[in-house]
A and B are shown apart, each in its own frame.
Chain A
Amino acid sequence: NAGVTQTPKFRVLKTGQSMTLLCAQDMNHEYMYWYRQDPGMGLRLIHYSVGEGTTAKGEVPDGYNVSRLKKQNFLLGLESAAPSQTSVYFCASSYPDGLETQYFGPGTRLLVL
């Protein structure tokens, strides 16, 4: 099992450019999440999904969109990148087994100039 994987690992964007971050999991998990981590802070939830075809907003959703067309994939899109979106992005997945444990990907470092 690869667990949770994220692509790309690092990306530099110019203000106004768009990009998509891909998260994939091979654990057959129902729930998937996107977080951002800023320096000196914990992770904050951007969007999440409780199943294929469903998405919901988290704590800091503005400027991001997501899609869950396949159970194993969760895409995070930035339509018009801003310097404030410079951050490390983490994807996570979990199974609704009552244990609520989330498994994290390795992170994507995004720099917006």
Chain B
Amino acid sequence: AQTVTQSQPEMSVQEAETVTLSCTYDTSESDYYLFWYKQPPSRQMILVIRQEAYKQQNATENRFSVNFQKAAKSFSLKISDSQLGDAAMYFCAYAGNTGKLIFGQGTTLQVKP
């Protein structure tokens, strides 16, 4: 069975600085997708970024980028130029052949002004 692990329950970053959130996963599948979702206090789940496993190039979305290491089964999220609105819980998620999402436990990000 696939698993997703986020080993950092809480992280903090100074406004305008860069922070990296860690995620590791375990799978025997070769084709899959990885996601980072943001959950602000409103509880709405917002897709931040997506990575297809067959793509070697790391995905980027404006200030958000990932470091995808397939052999190490690692998928970290880097947030550059952190903003107060980035404060939220971030979830790493895996989707394999079934399409069902498996979530990590989440990392709460605090952004300090």
What 1/0 mask marks residues of chain B from 69 to 113 whose CB sits below 8 Å from any chain A CB? 000000000000000000000010101000111011110000000
How many pairs of A and B residues are in contact by the CB < 8 Å rule? 50
In the complex, residue of chain B having the shortest beta-carbon distance to the beta carbon of A96? B99
Contacts of A106 in B (CB 8 A): 42-44
Interface size on A, residues (CB 8 A): 23
A51 to B72, CA, bound (A): 35
- Is B103 a contact partner of A31 (Cβ separation < 8 A)? no
A94 to B101, CA, bound (A): 11
On whether A99 and B45 interact (CB within 8 A), knowing A42-B105, A43-B91, the answer reads no
* Range, interface on chain B: 20 to 34
Most buried by B among A58, A94, A104, A107: A104
Among A31, A94, A100, A104, point to the contact of B45 (Cβ < 8 A).
A104
Among A42, A58, A96, A99, point to the contact of B100 (Cβ < 8 A).
A58
Contacts of B43 in A (CB 8 A): 88, 106-107
- Is A99 a contact partner of B50 (Cβ separation < 8 A)? yes
A96 to B45, CA, bound (A): 20
On whether A101 and B103 interact (CB within 8 A), knowing A106-B44, A107-B43, the answer reads no
A74 to B62, CA, bound (A): 34
A64 to B112, CA, bound (A): 41
Contacts of B103 in A (CB 8 A): 42-44
- Is A99 a contact partner of B106 (Cβ separation < 8 A)? no
Judge if A13 is at the interface, Cβ distance under 8 Å.
no
A58 to B103, CA, bound (A): 13
A residues in contact (CB < 8 Å) with B: 31, 33, 40-45, 48, 58, 88, 90, 92, 94, 96, 99-104, 106-107
B residues in contact (CB < 8 Å) with A: 4, 9, 33, 35, 37, 42-45, 47, 50, 91, 93, 95, 99-101, 103-106
